Structure 1
Amino acid sequence: MSTNKRYSERTLFWLCATVILFVGLGLRDPWPADEPRFMLVAKQMVESGNWLFPMRGDELYPDKPPVFMWIQALLYGLTGSVRIAFLLPSLVSGLIVLGLVRDLGRRLWSDASSSVWHVGAIASWLLLFAVMFTFQFKRAQIDPLITLWVTIGIWAFLRHYLERPSLALWCLAWAACGIGIITKGVGFLPLLVLPIAVWATRARWQSMAPSTRSPMRWLLGPVALVVPIALWLIPMATVAYGGNDPMFRAYADNILFKQTAGRYTNPWLHQQPWYYFIQVVLLQWLPVSLALPFVWRDWRTAWQQRDARILLPLLWVVLVVIFFSLSKGKREVYVLPALPMFCLAVAPFVQRMAAGKGLPRLVSGFNAVLIAFLLLGGAALAFGWMSPPNTLAGNAVPMGYVLLACGAAALGGSLLLRRLHRFAPLAATLSALWIGLSLFAYPLLNDDSSARGLMRDVAARIPADAELGLVAWKEQNLLMRHNRTRTFGFLRPPLAQWQDAAAWAQEQPSRRWLLSERKALPQCMQGAQADFMGVYNRRYWYLVPATHACAASAQEMRDVELDRTKGFEGAFE
């Protein structure tokens, strides 16, 4: 194929990737559950200057290492915009991950590099349109960033073992694992490829690079892993264990032990059966997972031929899924780091499958179902043919028209591109879906989803110079605040928060107000003057002037005394 055609494909890919990922940037605020939490911590870092110990309101936040929040904080300091800073790490990470997959496929299958549709190009297109990839990388959770570090690590390891031994690549892979570990504990995942690579080298699998004869040089790899961890761990542990503040010691214990090995071996959240990730792969890795009934024969042939280019990334994906399956605590996003290598293992066989009948028919059927869902679901919401879900509240009708527009664009794009490539109609549908939701659903749902609407209404209800106390609050409430705001703990029992808030409000009753979630209101507030502010994020919010904020009864406080005596450590239970 001509150089111009390869250039055109590359240009088209990066244009599509940038538009699909970045469209909607600046049109919404952080949405719960995780996005407001991380951005609030990052914003407080900038405002307080305390970068070593993350804070959520007036409490330490011990659930995750600070790397992701550091990056958000740096971007917030540069841009001054929450709406820009909170999403940029994920969006930029997505482009880099796509580039690494594209590069690795091109390098490992260099004999096909003269074709427009070389393996790296196919793998990158597959990854871009995988539902889990696009959905997660358009959100501001830690997982897209950890996927970046994991992909850098596995990219460097595979190049080292399959292309040529390289001390620089070896150290880069270990360093990426180290940064990944202090981003989220599972950053070590690329190391799972090492036993597979050792086995493949000894078994003389095809495509394995010659092994190095200087093993002492490779000891630098573990050193590269330890260095970034030490840069964070040593200062944090010195302050936490070297001082007399039990809060910092509890923070260190929690993040070093409970949130790592403890969370894996004895999880207290998101418990799922052992087969949970099988259904995640089948459903959330669509449409790539549609190839599974057809590609397994090629994988079997690769196993018979001992083709390391296929088996190393594929077996690594299997180990990652098994690793997370062994823990009772499971979330679908845990296996996101394995998705790029899964696409790489499928990509070499896509053109063969596309030339047949089975996969194209399955892809066409999936595309038809998706378009029908958009059109029929949109019409049902727009014309009131069905009861809307509670999450849409009063936005059901306009959201219905958004889905109708997405469906119409998907149908038109599918018809227009059906002769370009057998899989192009599905790409058009998914593009229409992501672009339509980003441009129209983001602004439509933002006020309710982000709590911006609630905090704006509260600010309009109270004087501009008033102080607002938050009770049983969520991170989005503090992040979207307009007035001077005071909190009374986050993980403390709601009624205990109310008791301190009521006492604080009575100190200056003429200028202090309380915003409380319904579950925190004591019995004495039943029937008292409290303005109902609406339902946001499935919670009922009330605004109470200080003059009407009564204290909880002694009996009510005795009921929560056990929680109060747990103190800071009990807050992490």
Structure 2
Amino acid sequence: MSEKTNRYLLYAGFIVAVLPVIILRDFTPSNELRYLSIADEALRNHTFFVFTNHGVPYADKPPLYLWIIMLCRWLTGAHRMWLLSLFSVVPALVTVDTVDRWTVNEMGGESRAAARLMTLTTGLFLTAALTIRMDMLMTMFIVLAMREAWNIINGDSRCGSSRWRFPLWLFLAVLTKGPLGLLIPLTTTVVYLIIVRQPWLIKRLWGWTTWISFGGLTALWLTAVWNEGGSGYLYDMTVHQTVGRAVNSFHHKASVVYYLIHYWYCVAPWSLLVAGIIVKALGRGAKRNALQLFFLTAALSIVAMLSCFSAKLQIYMLPAVPFMTYSAAMFLERYSRCPWLRYALALPSAIIVVALPAVLIVRWKIVPEINTTAIVLASTVLSVIGIVALCRLFSANSHGRLLTTINILGSGILIAVFIGASALPRLNAYIGYSTICHEALTVASRFKTTDIRVWRMKRAENMDVYLHSPVTVIPSPALPLPHIATSSKSSSSDPATAPQPYVIISKANLLTWRGITIVARAGDNAVGVAK
């Protein structure tokens, strides 16, 4: 089988593995449902550069990803999880394919196959590929920009066209997520050129062509923002959100060692392997060619730069992941005889072995609905794969055995995702609000009321995506007890003065505690009626 065929078979297998997830999963309340609500509001208001979330200006994100959501909503008439997920899954594959083709002269086919699988099954990368967020799209544009930067730095024959594509990818990255789309390529390339003692090439890469093209596109966008939202919105988007997050964040503030702490599970199950090889490759006397040094610089400079900012989230580290995994893969063959490599893979394999016992314990103690055939079968696959990987790992100490172990673990993770995803219809009530909102609409129709209120639910205002009308959010301590029937005949006989029922959505235990009869349930959430 040719290397090209092997590459595309992996991409096809990845799509098949995640397909049940993107078809069956509900939107999460934290960010996904908010993006949908903002897009709906923009469509109603006919605004395309200025966004609001229930009337409150939302200058937190640039417009490109919200445009995609608006376009999908306009084309299909609804928010389709499978369609929106394509704008995370496809960029993930484009990112891996770009880096893979970039390193074609640095590694053999087997090592690159392992690198592809490692990248796609890294915890942070796989999660981002299945999430309705703009981060994977931004990562794709950043990787494309850095590929063009490499061509320009090395005077590649495609350098002429790269000079124009480079600022375009930079602009699209900024239009997707914000300044990180510019700062990551800028930091990486400048640090790399200083390390290799070629600072004069900074002018070639970041010269007039780049800044005029990027600046012109940015100026057009910001002019449109100012025209639609005024100077106040423009200031909030460019200064308050950007400088505020970098210097003294009002959200997600964390210490400088944040990414060093969270790295271990974000890059799992390959975190020990990647970290160990990178440290070894950075050691004194280690031989590194230009591309290997560039990848190492990208991986480390991205994390270092992000650590200097006040606002920190695990997802911000996503652009560094493909450079981390491919850096490790480029040195894997050289260090394959090192005995510690086996243990770097043995520990995650051993953890995976306990997947089935862990699920059997959790299903009885925490979430009874996890007791499904799909979850048990998926955890069984993981446990078996972990055992097989351990047996392979210690059967020999050759480079081929390490690659085999990586392929076993990576393939097992994708198989487990495919099998376990079939349990999502039962778990969606714990993931999102779709099920409980549909129950609320049914109850409201039965009691002939349109008054639906929400009490003590996270991001409840964005339920309007499902309820198709504004949501009344009751202040946390303000929920009244159910009305007690009065002896006044006039109040009971006069429909105008009689209290009208309203539907309440909240946690089941909270409604029961308040003495409200639960009419419908979905997971931990419930619907009650106050009369």
Match for residue 182 of structure 1 among 163, 175, 193: 175
Match for residue 379 of structure 1 among 355, 360, 363: 360
Q: How does 1:109-508 map to 2 (within 5 A)?
A: 109=106, 112=107, 115-117=108-110, 119=112, 121-162=113-154, 164=156, 166-185=159-178, 186-188=180-182, 189-200=184-195, 202-203=197-198, 215=204, 218-241=207-230, 250-291=232-273, 292-300=275-283, 305=287, 307-372=289-354, 374-382=355-363, 384=364, 387-388=365-366, 392=367, 394-398=368-372, 401-413=373-385, 418=392, 421-440=404-423, 442-463=424-445, 466-470=449-453, 474-481=460-467, 485-487=469-471
Using the aligned pairs only, state the percent identity: 17
In 1, distance between residues paired with 2:520 and 2:337? 56
Deviation, structure 1 residue 429: 2.8
Matched, 1:96 2:97: no
In 2, distance between residues paired with 1:257 and 1:299? 37
Aligned in 2, Cα 1:328/1:61: closer, same or farther, shift over 3 Å? Answer: closer
Letter in 2 for 1:485: S
The superposition leaves residues 211-249 of structure 1 with CA deviations (integer Å, 9 ceiling, x where unpaired) of 69x9599411112222442343211112322xxxxxxx5
User: What is aligned with 1:30?
Assistant: 27
User: What is aligned with 1:82?
Assistant: 80
Letter in 1 for 2:131: R
In 2, distance between residues paired with 1:541 and 1:148? 40
Equivalent residues of 2:115, 2:325 under 8 A apart: yes
User: What is aligned with 1:57?
Assistant: 54
User: What is aligned with 1:11?
Assistant: 8
In 2, distance between residues paired with 1:494 and 1:457? 22
More moved, 170-179 vs 147-156: 170-179
Q: Which has the higher contact order (CA 8 A, sep 6+)?
A: 2
Aligned in 2, Cα 1:304/1:139: closer, same or farther, shift over 3 Å? Answer: same
* Structure 2, gaps ≥5 residues long: 393-400, 481-494
In 2, distance between residues paired with 1:78 and 1:72? 10
User: What is aligned with 2:489?
Assistant: none
Aligned in 2, Cα 1:485/1:513: closer, same or farther, shift over 3 Å? Answer: farther
Aligned in 2, Cα 1:299/1:331: closer, same or farther, shift over 3 Å? Answer: same
Q: What TM-score do the two structures reach when normalised by structure 1?
A: 0.76
Equivalent residues of 2:141, 2:169 under 8 A apart: yes
Aligned in 2, Cα 1:49/1:497: closer, same or farther, shift over 3 Å? Answer: farther
Aligned in 2, Cα 1:77/1:144: closer, same or farther, shift over 3 Å? Answer: same
Letter in 2 for 1:30: F
Letter in 2 for 1:421: T
Aligned in 2, Cα 1:476/1:7: closer, same or farther, shift over 3 Å? Answer: same
Letter in 1 for 2:80: V
Deviation, structure 1 residue 161: 2.1
Equivalent residues of 2:59, 2:233 under 8 A apart: yes
Equivalent residues of 1:276, 1:325 under 8 A apart: yes
Aligned in 2, Cα 1:300/1:326: closer, same or farther, shift over 3 Å? Answer: same
Aligned in 2, Cα 1:232/1:281: closer, same or farther, shift over 3 Å? Answer: same
Deviation, structure 1 residue 150: 1.6
In 1, distance between residues paired with 2:35 and 2:272? 35
In 2, distance between residues paired with 1:5 and 1:527? 64
Letter in 1 for 2:416: L
In 2, distance between residues paired with 1:220 and 1:412? 55
Equivalent residues of 1:35, 1:86 under 8 A apart: no
Q: What TM-score do the two structures reach when normalised by structure 2?
A: 0.81
Letter in 2 for 1:410: L
